[in-house]
Amino acid sequence: MGQQTRGMAPLLRPSEPPLPGAARPDQPAPQDAAPRRWDWWRVAEGIASVALGAALLIWGLPLVAGSDWSSIGSVFSELTLWQVVVLGLVWQFGLWVHTIALCAALPGLSSPRAWFLNQTGSAVSNLLPLGGAAGTALNYSTCRVWGFSTAAFLRWALVTNIWDTLGKLVVPAVAVLWLVASDTTSPDTLVSAAVVGAVVLGLMVAFTWFMLHRDVGMKVVARALDTLVHSLHLRRLRDQHFAADAGQFRRQLADLVAHAWGRLTVGKAAYALSQAALLWLCVLWLGGEASPAVVFAAFAAERVLSMAVVTPGATGVVEVGMTGTLVWFGVDPAIAAASVLLYRAFVIGLEIPFGGTALLWWLIRTRRTRRALRP
């Protein structure tokens, strides 16, 4: 996986001039006169984010569920080893079907590499407070080693995130319609989320169309990309100015969407359905009595709340919202909380050791490959 993708330009060429602002070999690297003011602010922000997530999980979850931790913990005794194995397989199946969308958005990307990007990027994002930028930076560095261009990576990141957001906005509306069809009363919060999601979905679809068909719309996105890539503090991005090439970037992006929208939609939809099935199995095997429509409503709450990344992986926020939804529909409080925790242990918790192990293996293999290529 550490080897360069065939047909791609090498990452470094001997004839390339040094980047403007980069230190020459015979010059010492510039030293900062004083620590950046934002460093302490970022540390404080990270600590506050972790503390908020812990508080919501430790105190907020039992409060919303109406059950203590001892009762919640006793529910897990109902789970058998083979059920845990099946849950793990369902979780991994969802990650593999998700590679359909990831590969569609980056031509030349294989399914194993797409799985690797998903796992390692998610591991960093879930581990660090507000870690989305760090996960993006890691994925970017990996794709550059594989030989993909910066523009290709940014098209991949932009398209997959747009489709992911659109999917999250669709789920609440589908959940409400399913509950209505099954003669189940919907909570006001879910109905409100569905209405707001439908409005935002319409606006996003309109903006996406405008962005893909008008240079003016793409210039707005390109300026945002300029801000993003420079905030990642990556040396090779210092001279990138995407706003200046917005027209070409738009045409390439429009061509990508025209060829990949079907696989993007199928991959994202299959991924969401597999996650919903994982949640349903968690509720079912822990002894909960809930219809698939009710479980899907809790999954809809997770989709919306997962966008509130004020804590690492939206931890605490999501668990409280999902548990509250299940309890509102009459699921036993202890079972509801335990089911949500089990589900989140797979989709958030296990991504950290899985992604970390995959990243460590890749780094070791890449280093060995580079040593073998040295004269």
Phi/psi of residue 184, nearest 5 degrees: -110, 130
- Taking alpha carbons only, the member of 197, 188, 110 closest to residue 147 is 110
- Taking alpha carbons only, the member of 1, 18, 67, 129 closest to residue 335 is 67
Token pair listed for 80: 């058998």
- Name the one residue in this structure whose structure tokens are 């990996």: 142
Looking at residue 154, its pLDDT comes to 86
The model's pLDDT over 200-215, given as tens digits with 9 standing for 90+, comes to 777 777 777 766 766 6
288 contacts 331 by C-beta, under 8 angstroms: yes
Can you tell me the distance from the alpha carbon of 94 to that of 206, in angstroms, rounded to the nearest whole number? 29
Looking at residue 26, its pLDDT comes to 43
129 contacts 311 by C-beta, under 8 angstroms: yes
Print burial letters for 65-99: b (CB count within 10 Å at least 16), e (below 16).
bebeeebbeebeeebeeebeeebeebbbebbbbbb
Looking at residue 136, its pLDDT comes to 85
Residues 6+ apart with CB under 8 A from 172: 190, 193, 194, 197, 300, 301, 303, 304
Can you tell me the distance from the alpha carbon of 261 to that of 12, in angstroms, rounded to the nearest whole number? 33
Amino acid at 159: V
Residue ranges covered by each domain of the chain = 93-369
347 contacts 91 by C-beta, under 8 angstroms: yes
Amino acid at 156: W
In tens digits, what is the pLDDT along the chain, a chain of 375 residues? 434 333 333 333 333 333 333 334 444 444 444 445 556 766 777 788 888 888 888 999 999 998 999 999 999 988 999 999 999 999 999 999 999 999 999 999 999 999 999 999 988 888 776 667 788 888 988 999 899 998 899 889 989 988 998 888 888 888 888 888 887 776 676 677 677 777 777 777 777 776 676 666 666 666 766 666 665 555 555 555 555 566 777 788 889 999 999 999 999 999 999 999 999 999 999 999 889 999 999 999 999 888 877 788 788 899 999 999 999 999 999 999 999 999 999 999 898 898 889 989 988 888 877 777 666
Here the contacts of 308-312 (C-beta below 8 Å, separation 24 or greater) are 309/130, 309/132, 310/49, 310/52, 310/130, 311/49, 311/50, 311/52, 311/53, 311/56, 311/129, 312/49, 312/50, 312/53, 312/125, 312/126, 312/127, 312/128, 312/129, 312/130, 312/131
3-state secondary structure of 356: helix
pTM of the model: 0.80
Phi/psi of residue 67, nearest 5 degrees: -145, 150
Here the contacts of 40-49 (C-beta below 8 Å, separation 24 or greater) are 45/129, 45/130, 46/128, 46/129, 46/130, 47/129, 49/129, 49/130, 49/310, 49/311, 49/312
Can you tell me the distance from the alpha carbon of 2 to that of 140, in angstroms, rounded to the nearest whole number? 14
The model's pLDDT over 142-182, given as tens digits with 9 standing for 90+, comes to 999 899 998 899 889 989 988 998 888 888 888 888 888 88
2 contacts 364 by C-beta, under 8 angstroms: no
How many CB atoms lie under 10 A from the CB of residue 181?
9
